[in-house]
Amino acid sequence: MRPAPLLLLLTLLTSSACVKDDDPSTPDLPIDICGIDGMRLQADVDGSVTCFSTSLVGNLADGQLMLGGMNVTVGSLAIQLDELSVGTHAATQDANHLLLIVGGVAYESTNDAPGSITISAHHEGSNHIKGAFTAQLASPDGSPAKSVSGTFDVTYLEQ
């Protein structure tokens, strides 16, 4: 009568698989992940958190760092950094520009109502930059402004 131990083991395995994990350090699925370290651009646009890391690029040329990311269902977000030092910098139309495209409508930072970009870390040797941004973005076509705030963690290329 060997089947009894096998049946007991099978019963034990199937019943333990149905027990809820009460460990608070173990997240419930699904886990919402936005990119990976060095390749992340995430923003809260009018209260909706969006990951713009589907296609994310960073490129430093002529002293300006361009970061741009897409979300296939929402649109795209681009950040032009003219100031690369750690600290908080104004985000305007002329410098440290933010550009969001949603549903074919462009929204951008303006000189009249500047936002802010805070660079928390910039490692030039490894071409890695991290920071946060916040702004009210206006549309030239008169669409209602978009409130945007978010973070970036990007490893960029140099030209």
Give per-residue pLDDT as tens, 59-92.
999 999 999 999 988 999 999 999 999 999 999 9
Identify the CA nearest to 135 among candidates 114, 112, 106, 107. Answer: 114
- Say how far apart CA 33 and CA 95 lie, in whole Å: 31
**Predicted pLDDT of residue 25:** 62
Residue 132 domain boundaries: 35-158
In-domain check, residue 94: yes
- Say how far apart CA 156 and CA 84 lie, in whole Å: 12
In-domain check, residue 91: yes
**Predicted pLDDT of residue 26:** 57
**Predicted pLDDT of residue 2:** 45
- Say how far apart CA 36 and CA 25 lie, in whole Å: 20
pTM score of the predicted model: 0.79
**Predicted pLDDT of residue 159:** 87
In-domain check, residue 12: no
In-domain check, residue 117: yes
- Say how far apart CA 38 and CA 41 lie, in whole Å: 9
- Say how far apart CA 124 and CA 23 lie, in whole Å: 40
In-domain check, residue 147: yes
Q: Any idea what the Cα angle at residue 140 is, between residues 45 and 114, rounded to 5°?
A: 60
In the chain, how many domains are there?
1
Residue-by-residue pLDDT tens, the chain, 159 positions: 445 544 444 444 444 444 455 556 655 555 568 989 999 999 999 999 999 998 999 999 999 999 999 998 899 999 999 999 999 999 999 999 999 999 899 999 999 999 999 999 999 999 999 999 999 999 999 899 999 999 999 999 998
In-domain check, residue 25: no
In-domain check, residue 55: yes
Tokens standing for 13? 């395995």
In-domain check, residue 79: yes
